[in-house]
Structure 1
Amino acid sequence: MSLRFSLMGPVRGWRDDEEINLGPRQQRAVLAALLLNNGVWLSNDQLIGMVWDDPKPSAVMALRTYMYKIRKALPELDLRSKDGGYALRAELVDDCREDPLEGLTSAYFEAQRVRLGDQRLRCHEARLEREPDVVELQKHVAAHPFRERMRALLMQVLYQEGRQAEALEHYHRARALLTGQLGLEPGPELRAIHARILNGDLALPPRPEQLPPDVDDFTGRAAEIARALDVLPRTVGITGMHGSGKTALAVRIGHLVRHRFPDGQIFVRGHDVVNELLRAVGVENPAGDGAALWRQKARGKRFLVVVDDLQDAASVKDLHVPGSAVLLTSVRRWNELPGVTWLKIAGLPASEACGFFHGLAGPAVLAAEPELVAKVLARVSHLPAPIRVLGGKLAGRPHWTVAMLLRQMERETVLGEAVPSDCRAVLAPLARAHRNLTDDERHLLGCFARQDTEVINVCEAAAMSGGEVGAIEPLLESLADVHLIEPLELGRYRLPAFVKLWFQLRAPVLTS
């Protein structure tokens, strides 16, 4: 349980998220005087002088009464009394935009109101300097037209957004205001910004260019690419099992549409998404609501954002900005995210998989042993990542045939974890998937993989694994969500050949 207090606007307090009734005005004035001197001992006379401009003799008794009521309303408050004085320690927050100490009218509170207002103004300006935003700066300059530093910052931000004429107009307005009302010329900071804008030597913010290089031998996915190009700039999600080429597809789409997004491309791995976006647009060590700050920064701009290997739907939930586009890749399809068009990818069509393998291993290999090539590709479910490794292996062994490669793959099914490094590279996508499964999911999938059949139903899965039907179906659905089995119809599932290969390789380990 925690207590928080605010002196901005009326004096207010909260116990966790519930607001507390702090009593009548004079009682709140006593509490405010203690809060303004957080941790400092105040005598009765000091407190009375702060709360009452012309105190009556009864003020001492009134003070004691208010202290009693404050303790009763806030028993957990660290309020101490000693030698006819009081002190407290409490957490203060600035939670609103109102004037401080509203309703408290003594000379002491008037002076504190001026001090807090000035302090708050400086803090707000410091935040605008760290995280400049055109709309907030325009509001601030309108409210405080003689604050030249903020007007200079507004001119700089406008110029950096390509709004040079507006930046120069702000200078002329400031000059007219200063000369007309104060008889002064603009100060050196305003004049310097004005000169740099005229000379064109004001540095522009860096444009993020984070999109990874396109893959030269990218193969297939024409239908998915066409669909994504049609949907963008609305959000597009790409889902599929590890090794299916989600990232490569997202990068290919990104390069095809990058000309639509002149403010830059941002590439983020699926962790700490908001802070990575903010760093990409120049905000270091952001504080507060990061998603709201990102929306401010991206407002009026056109960014292409690629979030690769999304791990948590909440991390991208509130990031959409009109005009900018988001491309998501994820093993899991996050159906709770609104407004996302999901594209599911799996293995390549057989002809495209052969073409990809042909380009990696060489045309002679495919021409000499087309049937064996088909067997090799089927064993890895036509997935691009393992095909790349196998094709590269053959290219690096010019005296090998596809038959030799296939014999090695078959021999490795009895080696357990003692397999060559290139075999580990082939299986790396499934190794990643396997690490993220629960023990029950691993057991069920292993039982399925050791069957002769490719298709099972829920009852067969329960019988082979020794589980209850009611508990097995959620496990099967969970495995289908990450594409380790394929849902065919309600209650029936198919096991991909590549997943079966993984469990064949692990069989000695699983049964030892």
Structure 2
Amino acid sequence: MSLRFSLMGPVRAWRDDEEIDLGPRQQRAVLAALLLNNGLRLSNDQLIGMVWDDPTPSAVMALRTYMYKIRKAIPELDLKSKDGGYTLRAELFDDCRGEPFEGLSSTYFEAQRVRIANERLKCREALLERELDVLELQKHVAAFPLRERSRALLMQALYRDGRQAEALEQFHQVRALLNEELGLEPGPDLRGIHAQILRGDLNLARRPEQLPPGLPDFTGRAAEVAQALRALPQTVGITGMHGSGKTALAIHVAHLAKQDYPDGQIFVSGKDIANELLRAVGVENPSGDKAALWREKARGKRFLVVVDDVRDPARIAELRTPGSALVLTSVRRWNELAGVVWLKIAGLTEAEANQLFRGVLGTARADAEAAVTDDVLARVSYLPNPVRVLGGKLAARPDWTVAMLLAQMERETRLGSAIPSDCRAVLAPLMKAEQQLTDQERHLLQCFARRDEDVIDVCEAAEMSGGDPGAIEFLLEALADVHLIEPLVLGRYRLPYFVRMYFGWRVPALTS
């Protein structure tokens, strides 16, 4: 059950989807005053002064009566009485339609109406500034012809569209109107934009929209998506082994959250992240302290930045700015980065992997061999990238069954018994991971993989590899950091099936 309140239009409340009868006008006024001061304690005298312009002695009794009826109508409301005053905590839901506090007419509510109207105008103009849509700006200027800020935005939008003469005409119109109506000249901001247009050097900020398209068959990760959305704008980090779908998840989350970051969305991947961020907002060939310049450009703005495959955490720490959000992906979790909400992902669940595989291959073919399909997906540890590749391979062979694919996977080839010998794309995540290993780490994984067990401890690993237990534990922890093995309790580790297969049969040359 949830309670929602609205102050736009008449004061209203809902319990789930059912509207609550809030009683007569003055009772609604009492509730509105409390909602406007959500979480603050209001004394009886303060409330009476807000609701009644000329209160009579009976106002105290009327206030108590209204409080009693509000509690009776909404018994679950967190309305507390203490020391002759009241405190309310509630969720406000406002759709910005209609005049606020419709029907309430005290001096207090009239002042609040003016305040809210000004805030709504500022919010509207902030949105218009980000979009610079000429038609919408023209409508806004027609409704508020004396507002210099909206007139300046229209001049900028017209100039950007190559309509310099029309932009200058807007300045002359507002100047004549200000002189006629108020006896004033345009302010310095408006005059400055006019001068820049005359000189031809008006520079407009670029609004980047760089997010790659999301995967149309993105599957699963509901808990991780919800956790990331709750955490933003705090920095979110997504970590997992190659092939686990970190980038896909980051992009999916970014698309869901982008409406909260109206100044733009930026996707970067590479070593010089600050340089790429500056280029995204229109700064070409930046020099000097690029991170400091980015912080200056991002000050007061709300950007959503996805940094893919982070390699240097120190560079990330320099780029964070208040109001903007970072979504990071990295094989390694960078614990030295403060204030990051880390999400660790591995394979999909069995049900999610089946859903993805069926979406690529087709439900009928997969369902006809459900048990075999489960076996195929388990062999790649339900990792989304290999699952998608296997589904695509089988879809390209309409005369093959899933059992035929499994039979090919079971043949012992130079690559091992669980990988299609003609599909390097399935191997890609582990091939990439292997390139970043030391010889000692690779040797240890091969020893681990050839042992016919899922779980091993440090002493067993040292015995197999012929190394010192202390040094072996260091290597095992390094492998756990990049998710090639899973740490259990202290000193014990599990090897995922896909990794065990690959390193158990690994040979120097790979052929397709």
TM-score range (shorter-chain normalised) is: 0.5 to 0.7
Alignment-derived partner of residue 480 in structure 1: 480
Q: Distance in 1 between matches of 2:380 and 2:468?
A: 31
Partners of 2:466 and 2:192 in 1: CA distance: 79
For 1:318, the equivalent position in structure 2 comes to 318
Residue 352 of structure 1: CA displacement?
0.7
Inter-CA distance 191–264: structure 2 relative to 1 (3 Å threshold): closer
Mean Cα displacement is larger for which, 311-320 or 336-345?
Answer: 311-320
Q: Deviations over 1:262-304 (max 9, x none)?
A: 1100100042111111111111222221111111000000000
Q: Secondary structure at the match of 1:207?
A: coil
Q: How does 1:25-424 map to 2 (within 5 A)?
A: 193-194=193-194, 204-411=204-411, 413-415=413-415, 422-424=422-424
1:193-226 per-residue CA deviation (whole Å, 9 max, x = no partner) reads: 416769x995632211110001110000000000
> Partners in 1 of 2:291 and 2:210 — Cα distance?
20
Report deviation, 1:494.
Answer: 0.3
CA distance in 1, matches of 2:340, 2:153: 33
For 2:227 and 2:283, the matched residues in 1 are separated by 34
Deviation, 1:315, is 1.6
Contact 1:160 1:205 in 2 (8 A): no
Residue number in structure 2 paired with 1:434: 434
TM-score (norm. length: structure 1):
0.60
- Alpha-carbon distance, 1:480 to partner: 0.2
Q: Is the 8 A contact 1:415 1:508 kept in 2?
A: no
Tell me which residue corresponds to 1:497.
497
| CA-atom RMSD in angstroms | 3.1
1:328-353 alpha-carbon deviations (Å, 9 max, x no partner) = 00000000001100000000010111
* Unaligned residue ranges in structure 1 (runs of 5+): 1-155, 173-189
1:230 alignment partner, SS class: helix
Distance 1:258 1:484, change over 3 A: same
Shift of 1:366: 1.9
C-alpha deviation, 1:504, in angstroms: 3.7
SS of equivalent to 1:388: helix
Q: Taking structure 1 as reference, are residues 369 and 474 closer, same or farther at Cα in structure 2, changes over 3 Å only?
A: same
Q: How many residues align?
A: 331
Q: Could you say what secondary structure the match of 1:238 adopts?
A: strand
Identity between Structure 1 and Structure 2 (%): 69
Q: 1:389·1:426 contact (CA, 8 Å) conserved in 2? A: yes
Deviations 1:89-114 (A, max 9, x none): xxxxxxxxxxxxxxxxxxxxxxxxxx
Deviation (angstroms), 1:509: 5.9
Partner letter of residue 228 of structure 1? A
Structure 2 CA distance for partners of 1:211 and 1:395, relative to 1, 3 Å: same
Corresponding residue for residue 120 of structure 1: none
Distance 1:203 1:414 in 2: 60
Taking the aligned partners of 1:386 and 1:503, their CA distance within structure 2 comes to 16
Matched-pair contact (CA < 8 Å) for 1:389–1:422? no
| Structure 1 Cα separation of the partners of residues 454 and 420 of structure 2 | 27
CA distance in 2, matches of 1:491, 1:191: 71
- Scaled by the length of structure 2, the TM-score of the pair is 0.60
Secondary structure at the counterpart of residue 237 of structure 2 = strand
Aligned-partner SS, 1:310: coil
For 1:236 and 1:191, locate their aligned partners in 2 and report how far apart those are by CA, in whole Å. 43
Please give the secondary structure, in 1, of the residue aligned with 2:463: helix
Q: Given the superposition, is the C-alpha separation of residues 469 and 192 from structure 1 closer, same or farther in structure 2, using an over 3 Å criterion?
A: closer
Structure 1 CA distance for aligned equivalents of residues 392 and 253 of structure 2: 25
Contact 2:409 2:420 in 1 (8 A): no
- Give the counterpart letter for 1:331 in structure 2: V
User: Is the contact between residue 310 and residue 330 of structure 1 (CA under 8 Å) also seen in structure 2?
Assistant: yes
Aligned counterparts of 1:310 and 1:422: Cα–Cα separation in 2: 31
Kept after mapping to 2: 8 A contact 1:393/1:422: no
3-state secondary structure, aligned to 1:500 = helix
> Structure 2: where are the runs of 5+ without partners?
1-151, 158-166, 176-189
Higher alpha-carbon Rg: 1
Superposed displacement of residue 423, structure 1? 2.1
1:428 to partner: Cα distance: 0.2
SS at match of 1:506: coil
Q: CA separation in 1, counterparts of 2:397 and 2:411?
A: 18
CA contact (8 A) 1:268 1:306 kept: yes
Q: Is the 8 A contact 2:447 2:504 kept in 1?
A: no
- Amino acid in the other structure paired with 1:305: V
